[in-house]
Amino acid sequence: MTLFDAGDADFQQQSLLELRPISVWTQLFGVACWLASLVISPTGFHFPLAWAAALTGWMLLGTLLSQCARQLWQMTLGILLNITALATAFRLCSLATTDLVALLLPIAVCITLTMAPVFNNTLPFLCGSAMVWGILDHDVLTRTRIHGGPNWILLLIAAAMLSGLILQLLFRRLRLNGYRLRAELQELAYQDPLTGIDNRRSLLEKLQAQYLRAPGHFLMLDVDDFKQINDQFGHESGDLALQEVAAVLNGHPAAALCGRLGGEEFGLFIAESDPLRVAAAAKDIIRQVNACKVGSQSLGISIGAAWLDSRTGLAASLKRADAALYEAKRSGKNRMVLALRHSPQEVRAHRRAN
């Protein structure tokens, strides 16, 4: 991320959710400080009521825009409206005083440092800070009575701007690191780290939504003689075998969803109702897996398939696919067995009902 880059769209949206409440409360704090200054300032009681109401409304408009923002630029615009109104209000309130340095410089520093963390992008922060300093201190340099005059004021302005910039960059970096960490944790929660495809949790969640929209066949696949591969060639070769199988499944044109269920077992969903086409796809998968080799040994895979729709339900379909897979293993391995679309009990119940 560069100095003036706000990050990708996901990071910006996440920043909006994190910064919006902080931004709103910070702006309301500024409004409260402004209203309190009218009470405690000797000149506050003489400040025109219409001006006070207009400036307060201007500040609250910026706060409301930040609160209702759906995009980061809208929240940023609200912040800029609020702080320019706040700076203008304090500037007008200071017209009756002669000691501008003692009044306006601390206010400018406070606004700059307080608002720095709520800007996600550096450029708006620099623009907003420049506006605040321009509004509050445009004539402080010429009217100051400090020994050394403008040099001290320029040093203070530079120090405040630099401190605010460091704060803005630091907080943005912390948010970015948190965003990346959450993304990595989410990836670990839903992606199998060895094969790169969905893990069991992710696959089952996607299946739950998929079969309700488009029914089809669920295939449960198991690498044949996987323990023998590990014993003969080592666990690294076993891992390579799983990666090869995952690549075949993930790249197969018939696969709508695929994932690793655990160990050497995989799951595959084909949005196809014709058993012949499902059998052809399974046969093609077996052929591609047989073409993969670990050492001198070709890989084999057994497949159990079952119909999956809203009537059968996910749990029942998984159970039938598992039973069909067991039958494929028992009958010689490296083959596919298709379970009955409905169990015998369901067929008998359907006949009785009709």
Going by pLDDT thresholds of 50, 70 and 90, the confidence category of residue 233 is confident
Q: Work out the pLDDT band at 241, boundaries 50, 70, 90.
A: very high
Q: Under a CB-based contact definition with an 8 Å cutoff, are residues 242 and 266 in contact?
A: no
**Residue 102, pLDDT score:** 59
For residue 58 the two structure tokens come to 């201007």
C-alpha distance from residue 182 to each of 22, 169, 171, 186, 187 (Å): 20, 20, 17, 6, 8
* Token pair belonging to 28: 């309301």
Work out the average pLDDT over 324-344.
85
Yes or no: say if 270 and 217 are a contact pair by the CB < 8 Å rule: yes
Q: Please, what are the domains in the chain?
A: 9-188 (no CATH), 200-353 (3.30.70.270)
pTM exceeds cut of 0.75: no
Closest CA to 113 of 128, 93, 95: 128
Residue 352 confidence (pLDDT): 46
Sign of CA dihedral 227, 231, 233, 237: positive
In angstroms, rounded to a whole number, what is the distance separating the alpha carbons of residues 173 and 273?
Answer: 51
Question: Pick the catalytic residue: 244, 264, 265, 327?
Answer: 264
Task: Give the span between the Cα atoms of 305 and 269, in whole angstroms.
Answer: 9
Q: What is the CA radius of gyration of the chain?
A: 34
More confident residue, 191 or 4: 191
- Mean pLDDT, rounded, for 319-342: 89
User: Residue 32: which pLDDT band, with cuts at 50, 70 and 90?
Assistant: very high
Q: 3-state DSSP call for residue 308?
A: strand
Question: Looking at residue 249, what is its pLDDT?
Answer: 94
Question: Other CB atoms closer than 10 Å to residue 61's CB: what's the count?
Answer: 14
Distance between CA 241 and CA 234 in Å, rounded?
A: 11
Percent share of the chain, pLDDT over 90: 40
User: What is the pLDDT averaged over residues 310-338?
Assistant: 91
pLDDT at 96: 60
**pLDDT score of 14 more than 80:** yes
Smallest Cα–Cα separation from 196: which of 237, 242, 236? 242
Q: Please spell the DSSP secondary structure of 239-253, one letter per residue.
A: HHHHHHHHHHHHH-T
- Least Cα distance to 15 among 66, 86, 81, 63 occurs for 66
Cα–Cα distances in angstroms (integers) from residue 282 to residues 208, 250, 265, 275, in the given order:
22, 13, 15, 10
pLDDT at position 354 over 50: no
- Is residue 145 predicted with pLDDT exceeding 60? no
Closest CA to 259 of 308, 218, 212: 218
| φ, ψ at 305 (rounded to 5°) | -120, 145
Predicted pLDDT at 353: 37
Q: What is the mean pLDDT of residues 212-228?
A: 91
Please check whether residue 165 is in contact with residue 126, taking contact to mean a CB–CB distance below 8 angstroms. Answer: yes
Mean pLDDT within 309-325: 89
Tracing tokens 């420049």 back to the chain, one arrives at: 130
Q: Do residues 253 and 197 touch, judged by C-beta distance below 8 A?
A: no
**In this predicted structure, what is the pLDDT of residue 146?**
46
Biggest distance spanned by C-alpha atoms of the chain:
104
Residues 6+ apart with CB under 8 A from 350: 342
Q: Which of 48, 50, 41 is nearest to 97 (CA)?
A: 41
Residues 277 and 309: beta-carbon distance below 8 Å? no
In this predicted structure, what is the pLDDT of residue 46?
64
Q: 84-106 burial, b if ≥16 CB within 10 A, otherwise e?
A: bbbbbbbbbbbeeeeebbebbbe
**43 has a pLDDT exceeding 80:** no
pLDDT, tens digit, for every residue of 101-127?
Answer: 556 778 888 888 888 889 988 899 999
Average pLDDT over residues 288-314: 89
Q: Which is more confidently placed, 98 or 161?
A: 161
pLDDT tens digit string along 149-190? 556 777 777 888 899 889 988 998 888 888 888 877 777 778
Cβ–Cβ under 8 Å, residues 34 and 59: yes
**pLDDT (average), residues 240-268:** 93
Across the range 228-250, mean pLDDT stands at: 91
Structural contact between residues 292 and 340, judged by C-beta atoms closer than 8 angstroms: no
293-294 and 265-270: which strand pairing? unpaired
Q: Would you call 205 a catalytic residue per the annotation? A: no
Residue 140 has pLDDT above 90, yes or no: no
| pLDDT at residue 344, as a whole number | 46
In angstroms, the CA 77 to CA 66 distance is: 8
What are 181's two structure tokens? 């960490």
